[in-house]
Chain A
Amino acid sequence: MHKRAIAQGNYARPPALGVGLAAVLGLLAWSGCAADNEFGGIWRGTAPAQSTANPLLYGPAGEPLALELVLGEYGPDLSGLMRFYRQGSYVRARDAAPPDGQCACALVYGGRSDSGKAAFSMRGCLPGSSPQKPVRTRATLARDELGVLRLHLQVDDATSALNGQSASIELLAHTSASEISSSDLICAPGPSAGNPASGQ
């Protein structure tokens, strides 16, 4: 009976084919899921006009500056760079790459993200820092109660006159992480002094 059934192929087909297909599709979906990418991408912000200019985000004449943060997020690790612009050229730089200046860029070091917060260090020229020379700056990223991403900068360099100075700026998403191009990552080493971004 059994052999005849086998020979005729008239026994119940196992549902294994459907199960296998579902498993493969599930596996594909699962394997395509990466960790949340909360900070990766290009962020831009402009310092608000105010009467008491902060030396970190304002030029010598007190004019507000703009910044662009390019971040790659890989699990708990962050990498990237930050550029500064005069606001006028910043607007133009949206269409004109590379951005103005030679020392308007600082690389991100030791970036880590965890539980909705990110922290990293930078060493490079800062706008308004006078005399212009590379300083070490700590930065944190977190969302405020309204869900807006805020960047907090604090100079942590005892050799700098700016040591202890801090500033905070609101960032807006400009480009997603997957759309970061090689031209966005150009960050040539700057001079040891001078900060064209702040007009000097």
Chain B
Amino acid sequence: MRVRGLARRLWLASPWPAAWVALVALLLTITAEAAEPTDARRDRAVAILPFKSQLASPSDLFAADKAQAGGADAEAVEAEVARLLASAPMVRTLPVAEVRRLLGDDPAATAQAQAAQQLYRLGLELYLSLAAARSVEKLQQSTRLYRDALQDVIDPKPYADAQFMLGVALVDSGRAAEGHIALKDGFALQPDRRFRPNFFPPAVASALASALTDHLTTADSLRPYGDHQRLFQISRRLGVRWLVHGSLRRGAQETELTVAVYSAQRRLLEAELRVPLSQALDKLEPFLSRWLACAPVEAERPSVAAADRWRLDTSAVYAPFLRQPTRRAFQSLGFSTGLAHEFRPHLEWFSRVALHTSLSDPYRDLLRSFNSARAVAGVGATVRSGPLRLFAQLGLDAHLLGSFAASVDPDCKLFGTTHRLCDPKSVLDLDQQVLFGINAAAGGQLHLGGDFLLSLRLSLSNYFLPLDGTDRLNLPLAAEFGLGYRL
């Protein structure tokens, strides 16, 4: 009966059983992850973006049936780069197909692309119903969404459709300069795009030809996917540290290949190669070898985040009980000291001891101030972001109360709890009792420099033993703030 009562208190008396379950599940997940063996060094993750062929000719812009030049060559170069990287040591390569699959499988990107497609269709309908201004607005929204979804990497065709349609609508609206830029951006997405002859009015056809000429003349072959900020966005989405991209363009005498390697860590192009396409097979291998020789192999854990370190902290504590027998809250203040050891990546055990002094409430329902000692121990999950280390902890809490006695009867307060006027039923006497329960905490440590830390910890306990007493005094909330040191 007593065991059943205890179990019931453990589960139902807790105001947040779901939170306990979630925290335990998190700890188990992290434990499982942490238990997996890890290499001391991490493979260099490199993604290959689709190479772009800039070999289109303005004269072929309206020759829809003419074979597109350079597409096969670009794919051949992509394949060769993938082969060379795959054979290199300590390199994890994401070939173009894998890059497209990873980005395309992202539900958020898919939703964005679907919304962009709907906006494109709406813009097209508005354009056909001669509402050019509103059409421009919808098409601009569509291209923004396509860009955010990285659709130019996944499949540039629908993005380019919207971009060209935007340019056509702008030119039709008399906004020739903006239309020119929009059309030029369209060719940046799909340089080998062809159009049906005599489909567009002469002004639009002229604008298209002009935009393609401008693009082929001025496009930066080192940045076919935009600036470094956008490359950084792509690398983060893919979870890689390097991107390899390239393009083919007409040179003075023959087709020229440009290959560049972007470093997401350094946020710049680390290496670039410009060679005639005929020499690509000979030049690619030494180029990639030279780059890989200098590309750092990342240690599994940076030294500052090294596991197997002990942390000691001393904090001031403010620890009010959320459930109190008094009519007005009494406050508890004190000091705590804690020791934690990260025995596996993202997993630590911890122990803390604290001394609290509880001061009487304004109505003095707490018959006297009392001291208490508290010990908490358990395990925690940790994550690190720069100088900030966050943790969530789950543990057991033992709280030794001092001379705790509370009553709302004024006669007990003035004459004492043993006086004939004092109603014994009004007195909660937990003198020298030990309360046992579960403690959940979250907090963070900010690295101040050297081995010093600034520590903040918020915790809440739920006592379930002894069975009588904890129904009126329970749920101590604790805010701890102090300084720590890494041993």
Q: Helix, strand, loop or mixed for chain B's interface?
A: mixed
Evaluate contact between B359 and A75: CB separation under 8 angstroms. no
Within 8 A of B (CB), among A70-92: 72, 74-80
Evaluate contact between A75 and B327: CB separation under 8 angstroms. yes
Within 8 A of A (CB), among B434-470: 446-450, 452, 454
Docked complex Cα distance between A119 and B363 (Å) = 18
A33-B449 contact, Cβ under 8 Å, with A6-B387, A72-B410, A72-B413:
no
How many residue pairs link A and B with beta carbons under 8 A? The number is 80
Evaluate contact between A74 and B316: CB separation under 8 angstroms. no
Evaluate contact between B410 and A79: CB separation under 8 angstroms. yes
Q: Which of A8, A24, A74 contacts B449 (CB 8 A)?
A: A8
Q: Helix, strand, loop or mixed for chain A's interface?
A: mixed
Evaluate contact between A34 and B446: CB separation under 8 angstroms. no
Is B160 at the interface (CB under 8 A from chain A)?
no
Evaluate contact between B359 and A17: CB separation under 8 angstroms. no
Within 8 A of B (CB), among A100-116: 107, 111
Evaluate contact between B414 and A10: CB separation under 8 angstroms. no
Q: Interface size of B by Cβ–Cβ distance < 8 Å? A: 35
Docked complex Cα distance between A72 and B408 (Å) = 13
A33-B454 contact, Cβ under 8 Å, with A78-B410, A107-B421:
no
Q: How far is the CB of A21 from chain B (nearest CB, A)?
A: 8
Evaluate contact between B387 and A34: CB separation under 8 angstroms. no
Is B364 at the interface (CB under 8 A from chain A)?
yes
Q: Which of B327, B362, B414 contacts A72 (CB 8 A)?
A: B414
Is B230 at the interface (CB under 8 A from chain A)?
no
Evaluate contact between B414 and A79: CB separation under 8 angstroms. yes
Docked complex Cα distance between A9 and B316 (Å) = 24
Closest residue to A32 on the B side, CB-wise? B359
Q: Which of B410, B447, B449, B450 has the most CB of A within 10 A?
A: B410
Write the residues of chain B forming the contact surface with A, with a CB cutoff of 8 angstroms.
302, 304, 316, 318, 327-328, 330-331, 333, 359-360, 362-365, 386-387, 408, 410-411, 413-416, 421, 446-450, 452, 454, 481-483
A selection of 11 A-B contacts at a CB cut-off of 8 Å is: A2-B386, A9-B450, A10-B449, A20-B482, A30-B331, A31-B359, A74-B413, A75-B362, A111-B410, A180-B414, A185-B414
